Amino acid sequence: MAQGSTRVVLTALAGNSVIALAKFAAAAISGSTAMLTEAIHSLVDTGDQLLLLVGQVRGRRRPDDSHPLGYGMETYFWSFIVALMVFFLGGVLSVYEGVRHIAHPSEVVSPWISLGVLAVSAVFEGTSFRTGYREYKRIVRGAPIRLWTFIHLSKDPGMVSVLLEDSAALIGIALAAAGVIATSFFHIAWADGAASIAIGLLLTCVAFVLANETRSLIAGEAVAPFVMERLKETLAAIDCITQLDEIATLHLGPGAILVALTLTFRPQSSTALITEAITEITRCLQATDGRVAYVYVRPAHKDASAVGAAPG
């Protein structure tokens, strides 16, 4: 996970830890099911960020004989566990609490405490979302890529999880506030439970998106199209290459990319010159995108054998 993504996850972790405690206290005082659901939501988010950090630490282990290309893809496994947590502990439990409250409604007391906690929570969640949004803008570097498209194209599950969960948290806060207001001030007994069910369904949708994106990453994804264009532009500017015959990329984790190339070099290029050219190609690709960790080049003629280059 990149340093910027780590900062995003840590910001979300700090905010959700404080928010969860405040929401549980408000739920205990007010008896609001929607507030309890939001407290569970924040607690699940806190656990999610801890798991993402575990994935980051394990994914940064150095390559060894059993994993010669490193452990970066283990990050994706932990992200899938996060999706399961959001579904079962967030979505299913929230829907259950909502149905139970509708079947056996109870009065919400001290609604202003709940609303005050929700307002403070909105500030924390908004700050966390803004941190993630700024990181998204830094990564795309002015490319015309919408946030939802970025979430689909991103190979960093930490960024994706925080952006989705913070967005869901802000919507959940609005739903919980609506439930508390409708129950307390308009005496609609089922509204608090309905808000809890709505929050649960929202979390279920988030869980499915996270699971689907992570499934694709575990299966092996190429770099995003805008990254591919940058790599191709870099290769086109290298003098010794006359033609890019084939390029294949694979994410080995959020911070590591493998690039495999089939290239046509200038005629009469010796093996020594091709070897020097491959070193230059590797350097240029890494300058274009610091996540490029391995570069394998196959000269495009019958007698060529694959030549690999990787940073030390």
Please check whether residue 192 is in contact with residue 101, taking contact to mean a CB–CB distance below 8 angstroms: yes
Please say if the pLDDT value at position 144 is more than 80.
yes
Nearest to 204 by CA among 22, 28, 37, 27: 37
Q: pLDDT (tens digit, 9 = 90+) per residue, 177-222?
A: 999 999 999 989 999 999 999 999 999 999 999 999 999 999 999 9
Please say if the pLDDT value at position 52 is more than 80.
yes
**Helical axes 33-59 vs 3-30, angle rounded to 10°:** 160
Q: pLDDT (tens digit, 9 = 90+) per residue, 155-173?
A: 998 889 889 988 999 999 9
Distance CA 17, CA 40 (A): 11
Domain 225-309 - what CATH class? alpha beta
Nearest to 1 by CA among 161, 127, 152, 222: 161
Share of the chain above pLDDT 90, in %: 58
Q: pLDDT (tens digit, 9 = 90+) per residue, 104-134?
A: 888 888 899 999 999 999 998 898 899 889 9
Question: What integer pLDDT is reported at residue 1 of this predicted model?
Answer: 44
pLDDT band at 310, cuts 50/70/90?
Answer: low
Distance CA 35, CA 43 (A): 12
pLDDT band at 69, cuts 50/70/90?
Answer: very high
Distance CA 252, CA 174 (A): 38
**DSSP letter (8 states) at residue 311:** -
For the ranges 134-148, 150-164, 166-180, 270-284, the lowest mean pLDDT is seen at 134-148
Per-residue tokens: 25: 């206290």
Question: What integer pLDDT is reported at residue 266 of this predicted model?
Answer: 83
Task: Give the pTM.
Answer: 0.85
Distance CA 259, CA 248 (A): 6
Taking the domains of the chain in order of start, what are their residue ranges? 3-219, 225-309
pLDDT band at 307, cuts 50/70/90?
Answer: low
Nearest to 170 by CA among 15, 288, 1: 15
Per-residue tokens: 87: 């579904």
Please check whether residue 82 is in contact with residue 93, taking contact to mean a CB–CB distance below 8 angstroms: no
Q: Per-residue pLDDT averaged across 1-17, rounded?
A: 75
CATH number, span 3-219: 1.20.1510.10
Q: pLDDT (tens digit, 9 = 90+) per residue, 237-263?
A: 998 889 999 999 999 999 999 999 999
Distance CA 104, CA 187 (A): 15
